[in-house]
Amino acid sequence: MAGEAHPACGVPGTVDRQELRVKRELFDIPEGVIYLDGNSLGAAPKHVAERMQEVVRHQWGTRLIRSWSEGWWEAPQRIGDRVGRLIGAAPGQVVVGDSTSVNVFKALMGAVKGTSRTEIVCDESTFPTDGYIAQSVASLTGLKIRGAHPSSLDLTEDTAVVLLNQVDYRTGALNDMKALTEQAHGVGAQVVWDLCHSAGVLPIELDALGVDFAIGCTYKFLNGGPGSPAFIYVPTHKQATFENPLSGWNGHREPFAMETSYEPDPGIVRARVGTPDILSMLALDAALDVWDDVDLAELRERGLELTALFRAQVEKLTNLEVITPEVRGNQISVRCPDAKAVMDELIARGVIGDQRPPDILRFGFAPLYVTDEDAIRAAEVLAEVTR
C-alpha cells in the first residue's frame, strides 16, 4: 500500500496524506455517506454553488450580453488550458466544449481525413459511445472498423487511426500510453486517447509522448458537474491541418464577420463548434480551483494506496473476485452475483458505488475526498451485504 511501486508512474516516495485529505472539507458530501463513484460523477466542490450565484445574478443578470466580451467568449480556451495542465499539454492545445461523443467524432474524422489507409482500430472493451462513434466515422468515410484488445492490436500499414482508453471503464485496467502510442506510430498510424477515466487520476504526458489527439470528460474525477463540457486536445503541430468536421461558427477565424464561407481559426479555436454552454462551462471553471495546488504525482500515489487498501480488505473479508489488475487507475471492480441488488443495498447503507451488467460492482476512489477509513468501512459493508 504505502510505497507501492507502479510501472506507469515510477517509484513513489512518502505521501504527505494531510495535503490531500484536507481537500475533503472542500466538497459537499453528506454526513454518513462514503462516496466511491467519482469515476461516474465527481462530488461537488462547495464553492461552486456560490460562484454560480455570481455568474447568474451578476454576469448574466446585470452585465447581460456584455459578459461575452468580458470573459465568456474566451472561456473554452482559458478553461482548456487549466485542463491541459492536468493532462500534460502546453497552453493553446486544449479546448473545452461539446460532449465526449462529439469530440471523439471530431478527433477521428480529423485523423482519417485524406488518408489512403483502410481501417480504424477501436479498443474492443471501450465505453460504448466510443465504439458507436467509430462505427459512424467508418460508415461516413468508407473505412473498415476492427475491434481489438490493447494487448493485441495487430496494427498494419492499413491502419489509419487507433482509438484507445487509457483506463478501462469496466475493470479499471491502465493501458500503457507510451508503448501503445509508439506501436501506432511505428506503422504510421495515428492514435486518439480517451482520458475519461484517467484525467484527474494520474500524471498524463500528452505532449511528451507525442499523442496525436485526446478527448475526455470533466464530470468524473475532475468534478465539473453533471453533463459538464468535455475537452479535446490537438497538439500545436497538427492544428494547421486539423479539419474539424463540424464547421460551426465558433471555430471560424472571424466568427463575427458573418462570412458565408468557412475559414477555420489557425489554432485550437478551430476545434470549437457552436455557442458554448456558459453556465456549465463556468461551473467547471470553478470546480477546477480545487486542482490548482494538487501535485499529480502525489495524487497518483495516494490513489494507489486507497485502491490497494480496499482490494486487500475485500479479499480478506469476502469471497468476491477482484477483477482489477495491479496496473490500474483509481478504480476497483469486483465480480458479484446479483450485482444490481447488492449495489442497491450498499447505497441504502451509505456506500455509493455503481454496477455494470451483468455482474460487476465498480468503486471509484477520488483521493481529494476519500479516506483510508472510507475504504475500510466500504469493504466491511460489502462483506456484510454479501455474507
The yes-or-no answer on residue 365 being catalytic is no
DSSP 8-state secondary structure symbol assigned to residue 288: G
- Known binding residue 249? Answer is yes
Task: Give Cβ neighbours of residue 344 (< 8 Å, ≥ 6 apart).
Answer: none
- Known binding residue 130? Answer is yes
Burial class (CB in 10 A: 0-12, 13-18, 19+), 73: middle
Residue 212 has which C-alpha cell?
496525436
- Known binding residue 307? Answer is no
Q: How far is CA 85 from the centre of its chain?
A: 14
Q: How many CA atoms lie within 13 A of 34 on its CB side?
A: 24
Please tell me which residue in 117, 300, 328, 362 is annotated as part of the active site: 362
The yes-or-no answer on residue 362 being catalytic is yes
Strands (E), the chain: 27-28, 34-35, 44-45, 94-96, 119-123, 144-148, 159-165, 190-194, 213-216, 231-233, 321-322, 331-335, 351-352, 354-356, 360-364
Among 161, 124, 126, 157, residue whose Cα is nearest residue 141: 161
Taking the C-alpha atoms of residue 97 and residue 110, their distance in angstroms, rounded to an integer, is: 17
Among 296, 271, 329, 255, residue whose Cα is nearest residue 80: 271
- Known binding residue 101? Answer is yes
Please tell me which residue in 37, 194, 212, 285 is annotated as part of the active site: 194
Q: Rounded to a whole number, what is the distance in angstroms from the first to the last CA of the chain?
A: 26
3-class SS of residue 238? helix
Task: Give Cβ neighbours of residue 223 (< 8 Å, ≥ 6 apart).
Answer: 27, 38, 42, 43, 44, 45, 200, 287, 290, 366, 368
Residue with grid cell 479479499, as numbered in its chain: 315
Please tell me which residue in 27, 127, 233, 369 is annotated as part of the active site: 127
Q: Residue by residue, what is the 3-state secondary structure of 129-149?
A: HHHHHHHHHHHHHCCEEEEEC
Residue 68 has which C-alpha cell?
461575452
Please tell me which residue in 23, 146, 220, 300 is annotated as part of the active site: 220
Residue with grid cell 459578459, as numbered in its chain: 67
The yes-or-no answer on residue 219 being catalytic is yes
Q: Give ∠ CA 27-23-9 in degrees, rounded to 5.
A: 120
- Known binding residue 203? Answer is no
| Active-site amino acid positions | 127, 194, 219-220, 362
Which amino acids are annotated as binding site, given as ranges? Answer: 100-101, 127-130, 194, 197, 219, 249, 275
Q: Which residues are annotated binding-site positions for pyridoxal 5'-phosphate?
A: 100-101, 127-130, 194, 197, 219, 249, 275
